[in-house]
A and B are shown apart, each in its own frame.
Chain A
C-alpha cells in the first residue's frame, strides 16, 4: 500500500483533514504522515517534510498532498533532503481536503501510486458535478473487443442517502481490494467501482436501482460483496441489523 504525506502551514488544519479522511476507511488504511507548521507557528518546514516522507515511505511509493504557497517548495526541497532510497514520491496538485479524502480511500483499496494520484487530482469532480459544472467524463477506460465473462447484479439502495460519501468509500475500498474490474451503473451513468469519487457522481439516493457488473478472477466475490453491503444499507439502517 502506498504511503501518504500531508504538508500544511497549520498543525490544526492538518490534523483535522487527516481525521476527516481516515474516518472514511477502516483501521487498515494507508500510513498518513503529517508535516505541519514551522518553529511552533504557521509555516512549512522542509526538514519536517523530509521526516514525514521517511515515515510514510513504502515500496509502493508516497503521495504528497499540500495546502498552498511554501508547502509546495518545502515538499520539493524535502525530496532532495530525505534519504528515501528508491522510493517513488509524487507531489499532488490536488486540493488538500478533497484530494486527501480521495487518496486515502483509494490507497486503502490497494491501488498503485499512479492510480491514487489520478484519483486525488480528480477529487473536485463530485463538487463540480453537484454544483452543475461540467465535469470530466466519468467511467472506466473503454476496452475494445470481447471482454472476459461478466457477472452482474441489480440492486436497490435501501440506506437513507444512497451512495453518499461514506457508503461510496466503503464500497470502493472493498471492491478495490478484489482482483476484478467493477462497473457500477445508475441513472444512466457508469462509475469505476473502486473509485469513491466516481461512485459519488452517480447521484444516487434511497431507492435508486444500481447495476454492479464485474469481470476478472474475483468478479463473483465483487458482486457478492456489493450485494451484502447494499442489502445491509452500509450499516446505516436503524433496525438492529448488527
Chain B
C-alpha cells in the first residue's frame, strides 16, 4: 500500500472534527456537566472555529508540519480549559513528528499520532484507566500500529483506530476519575462517560472519515 495522507485530507480532518464538536456540543457539555465544569463542548467549538478560520484564510500553512503547528497554537490560545493545552500539545507534537516529510504514508501517520498522544498523555500526566482522553487515544494508536504492522492501508488502519477509540471511550463510563476536575468527585464520577474521551474519539473518527 502506498497511500499517503494529503494536505487536503488534513484540512478535511480538521473540518470534520469541527463539524463533530459542533454537532455534539450539547452532548459534550452535558457529559462535562455531570463530572466537570460544563464547558468542554463550548470550549472546543470555540477553539475549532478559530482553527477553521485560520485554515479557511488565504495564509493557510502549506505543509503538514506547519499546518499542525498552527492548529496547536490556535487551540492553546483559544480553548481556555484543560483541553487547550492537551489538544494543543497533541497537534504541536504531531507537527514535530511530521517534520519536513513530503508524503505522510501510514508509517508516518502512525508516528505523528503516536507522538501527539504521548505528548498529550505526558502533559496531563494521565495513563489508560484514569478516565481521560488517553483512554480513547492510546487504544486508537495501538490499533493503527497493529494495522500498519499487518500491512493494511491507511483507511483501514484509521477505521480500526476509530473503533478502538470508541471502545476506549465506552470503557471510561464505570471508571472513577483520577485526573482533572472530575477527580474531585471521586466515586461520584463513576457511571458517566468521560467528555475528553468522547471528544478524542471524534478526533480519531474525523481522521478516519477524511481518508475513507
Contacts and interface: CB of A to CB of B under 8 A. Distances in A.
Contact of B84 (A43, A76, A81): A43
Interface stretch (A44-52, A85-93, A94-102, A165-173): A44-52
B46 interface: yes
Interface string A52-86: 00000000000000000110011011000100000
Given A43-B43, A76-B85, A77-B88, A38 B80 contact: yes
A73 B77 contact: no
A11 to B, nearest CB: 12
Contacts of B82: 69-70, 73
Contacts of B73: 47
Given A69-B180, A69-B181, A76-B123, A39 B78 contact: yes
Contacts of A146: none
A42 interface: yes
A232 B88 CA distance: 55
A37 B180 CA distance: 18
A18 B78 CA distance: 24
B181 A45 contact: no
Interface size class of B (residues with CB under 8 A): 20 to 34
Contacts of A47: 73, 76-77
A73 B124 contact: yes
Contacts of A42: 80
Contacts of B77: 38-39, 45-48
A47 B84 CA distance: 11
Nearest to A9: B80
A70 B76 contact: no
Contacts of A48: 77
Interface string B73-111: 100111111101110110000000000000000000000
Contacts of A39: 46, 50, 77-80
A147 interface: no
A54 to B, nearest CB: 15
Contacts of B43: 43
Interface size class of A (residues with CB under 8 A): 10 to 19
Contacts of A45: 76-78, 80, 84
Given A69-B180, A73-B124, A41 B86 contact: no
A223 B152 CA distance: 79
Contacts of A38: 77-80, 84
A189 to B, nearest CB: 36
Contact of A70 (B46, B78, B81): B81
A9 B78 CA distance: 13
Contacts of A46: 76-77, 84-85, 88
Given A38-B84, A39-B46, A45-B84, A77 B123 contact: yes
26 contacts: A37-B80, A38-B77, A38-B79, A39-B46, A39-B50, A39-B79, A43-B43, A43-B80, A43-B81, A44-B85, A46-B84, A46-B88, A48-B77, A69-B81, A69-B180, A70-B84, A70-B85, A73-B85, A73-B123, A73-B124, A74-B85, A76-B85, A76-B123, A77-B76, A77-B85, A81-B76
Interface of B: 43, 46, 50, 73, 76-82, 84-86, 88-89, 123-124, 180-181
Given A38-B80, A46-B88, 7 more contacts: A43-B79, A44-B84, A44-B85, A46-B77, A69-B82, A69-B181, A74-B76
